[in-house]
Structure 1
Amino acid sequence: MIKFLITLSLLLVFQTQITQAQGGFDIWVMDTKGKGRKFNVLTETAKPLTNRPEYDNQPNFINEYQLVFSAADENGNHDIIVYNFTSEKFTNLSKTSDRSEFSPTLTDCGLYVSAIVVEPDGKQRLWLYPTNFGEPELLYDDIAPVGYYDWYDNKAAMFILGEPNKLSYARGKGDLLEIDNHIGRAVKRRPKTSQIGYLSMKSPKETGDGLALPIRTYDIANGKSEVLGFGLPGALDFIWLDSNYLLMASGNNIYRKKSNHSEWEFLGKVESSTHQNISRMAYSPELKKLVVVMQRN
């Protein structure tokens, strides 16, 4: 187990830096129905939203009709792309030849799409890209290298790469609250709460299918921590459907769990002869759409 954790930690530390060499990921979309315990995925409706050899990954909905994601061009440079479900058109929010943008999402204020930027000198920092296509600006000049993040109260909770990696919350300039260390890459705010959810690499559970990581939350408002059981064996990402239910994937299978329950419920399998292994997901209750990232065979 110790050897596995060291290997996993090294993979997490270097994952963002090596994404340019990975390629071969596409975004798929499918319909959903119901909410909460009645939520289900209509996997028979699944189809590719992108379909090309380059890297299309890290999707997030920014409103009821638009999705943002990181996409590589033919030269291996990554930009932020906006997809409009109404017009069915793709638009570049960024088009930079000297840097790459990853993990785009909407800020709390709704005026910016934030992204982790790999800058020309190799620094990985959090930048803001105005939704009106104005000039981007650096948010935290003194925090690097940042791998992943989410927002609470217009401040970022960030996965900061290091030995060990850390989960920190930027309360103010020079005021970082260290929440935990040895964490996984998923950092997701629990909807309508002050809790940051994440996967911990401490005390994993051994199963016949591999190691399952604990799902933890930290409440920024009151400082309380909570464990919400374990993720699926081998899975490194999850999303919140709402404040009570989580979604994870294993292979091409999608599962749901109530936060205070231990068991994951199978919801369906995405059948594909060209793609496999769902790695990331994003959900829009307004559109009733689930998008997933799958690797090309």
Structure 2
Amino acid sequence: MRFIIGLFFLTSFYSYGQSDTEVYVFDLELDQDSYQLTNQRNVSNNPGYDNQPSFFNDNQLLFASTRNGQTDIASYNLRDAQTNWISDTPNGSEYSPTKIPAAMAVSAIRLDSDGLQRLYRYDFKTGTSTLLLKDLVVGYHLWFNDHIILSAVLADGGLDLVRSDLTDGSHVTLQKKIGRSLHKIPNTNLISYVSKETDTWQIKSLDPISGATDVITTISKDSEDYCWLLNGTIVRGYRNALLQFNPKKDSSWSAFKTFNDGVIWNISRVATNSINTQFALVSEIAPDAIVQKHIEAFNKKDRAAYFDCFSDDVKVIDYPNTLRYQGIAALKKDYNQFFDTHDQMKVEVLTKMTSGNKVVYEEATTIDGKQRRQATIFEVANGKITSMTFIYR
């Protein structure tokens, strides 16, 4: 979403997508009694927002991707590693693309530039769109069958779980205060969702026909996105790791996979194909990559790219804790003057260390022929540098 909508309750549910994210796919292999992730690849490889993956079939991955200043539906073929575009809506962006059962079609939320947000059907081959639910502001959705849709509908500053029947046009609110992650539970006629009715969030099961619910487990507030494996295991992202929980045998969440490659960071959405051979996840750009990007922009004197690496409330600090200034406006004023004043500049990274969202660089700087050493401590959040602390020799 690259435009500003005046209706806050619309934008708030897609605000996460403002940071740079990438979609990664892995081979999912069953090794005795446990699954292994192998063959990691970045299938979006695109600056900006790439998010909300779901499988159209066992070889085709859908996701929302930034293109020409808006978000369109991308379809990635895992066999030939090719991306095709399903939508190209002028003055509108698509989110949460989902396969429609028994149809060569995709459903997606479209957010128009005038603020209208609705659920549409898109022909898989032509991209032709038709309105599905004209009366609901759908944030996220799941097809229970070819005519019943379970939706997380924007209402009262939150999300309500609504069942819609396309055969008679009816809408029934099943629960208020839910999360965005809706899934079918394998080998059952149930779906699952996150209940936020109390301070303790819970993953619950739901029979969409009878309305009966049951508690499956609790889930932390900082990682509400999950998916199911065929063996009944729930997998969710947490920072640079995947956690797992099987309701049949587990009493608590445990590690499924931890990523220490400096690439996968702050995992959110996760998805798997129907036969559990492919696994997709969404990762923010790792802190070290963000900091390196800002170094490259500095050396090129690319002001726009440089400033884009920082948060709006970035702090610039002299070690140990003297605040030089705060805010992107102050940083732009400072560095615009710096770029205007100096002709030659280069920063070379000598050593670096990363711990969580903190990155420490030992740097050699050359400014108009004058050299000096310094260390800089960077803090990164939501894909942006939130603070720089300088240590000078």
Structure 1 and Structure 2 fold alike (TM over 0.5): yes
**CA positional deviation for 1:240:** 1.2
**CA positional deviation for 1:243:** 6.8
Alignment check: 8 A CA contact 1:157 1:168 kept? yes
Alignment check: 8 A CA contact 1:70 1:79 kept? yes
**CA positional deviation for 1:121:** 2.6
Residues 173-193 of structure 1 show CA distances to partners (whole Å, capped at 9, x for unaligned) of 452121111111111122343
CA distance in 2, matches of 1:18, 1:71: 15
1:168–1:233: structure 2 CA closer, same or farther, 3 Å change rule? closer
Asked whether 1:106 is paired with 2:64, we answer no
TM-score normalized by the length of structure 2 = 0.65
Report 1:2-41 matches (<5 A). Answer: 14-18=11-15, 22-34=18-30, 38-41=33-36
Greater relative contact order (Cα < 8 A, sep 6+): 1
Corresponding residue for 1:7?
Answer: none
AA aligned opposite 1:236: E
Residues 114-141 of structure 1 show CA distances to partners (whole Å, capped at 9, x for unaligned) of 1001124311111011123252111111
CA distance in 2, matches of 1:146, 1:243: 30
Corresponding residue for 1:3?
Answer: none
**CA positional deviation for 1:46:** 2.6
Corresponding residue for 1:78?
Answer: 71
Corresponding residue for 1:52?
Answer: 46
Unaligned runs of 5+ in 2: 1-7, 288-393
Q: Secondary structure at the match of 1:159?
A: strand
CA distance in 2, matches of 1:282, 1:31: 12
Corresponding residue for 2:346?
Answer: none
- Residue 181 of structure 1 is aligned with which of 176, 179, 182? 176
Alignment check: 8 A CA contact 1:194 1:221 kept? no
Counting matched residue pairs gives 276
- Residue 127 of structure 1 is aligned with which of 117, 120, 135? 120
Q: Secondary structure at the match of 1:185?
A: coil
**CA positional deviation for 1:241:** 1.1
AA aligned opposite 1:122: G
Cα RMSD for the two superposed structures: 2.4
- Report which stretch shifted further, 277-286 or 78-87: 277-286
1:286–1:246: structure 2 CA closer, same or farther, 3 Å change rule? same
Q: Secondary structure at the match of 1:133?
A: coil
Report 1:99-248 matches (<5 A). Answer: 99-143=92-136, 145-154=137-146, 155-163=148-156, 164-172=158-166, 173-205=168-200, 213-232=201-220, 234-242=222-230, 244-248=232-236
Alignment check: 8 A CA contact 1:50 1:56 kept? yes
Answer with 1 or 2: which has the greater Rg: 2
**CA positional deviation for 1:233:** 5.1
CA distance in 1, matches of 2:153, 2:231: 25
CA distance in 2, matches of 1:231, 1:109: 33
AA aligned opposite 1:148: Y
Alignment check: 8 A CA contact 1:129 1:136 kept? yes
**CA positional deviation for 1:200:** 1.0
CA distance in 1, matches of 2:186, 2:121: 22
Alignment check: 8 A CA contact 2:43 2:76 kept? no
Unaligned runs of 5+ in 1: 1-10, 206-212
Alignment check: 8 A CA contact 2:93 2:110 kept? yes
**CA positional deviation for 1:15:** 3.4
**CA positional deviation for 1:203:** 2.6
Residues 209-259 of structure 1 show CA distances to partners (whole Å, capped at 9, x for unaligned) of xxxx21011101332111001124521111111372211111111122113
**CA positional deviation for 1:87:** 1.2
1:239–1:119: structure 2 CA closer, same or farther, 3 Å change rule? same
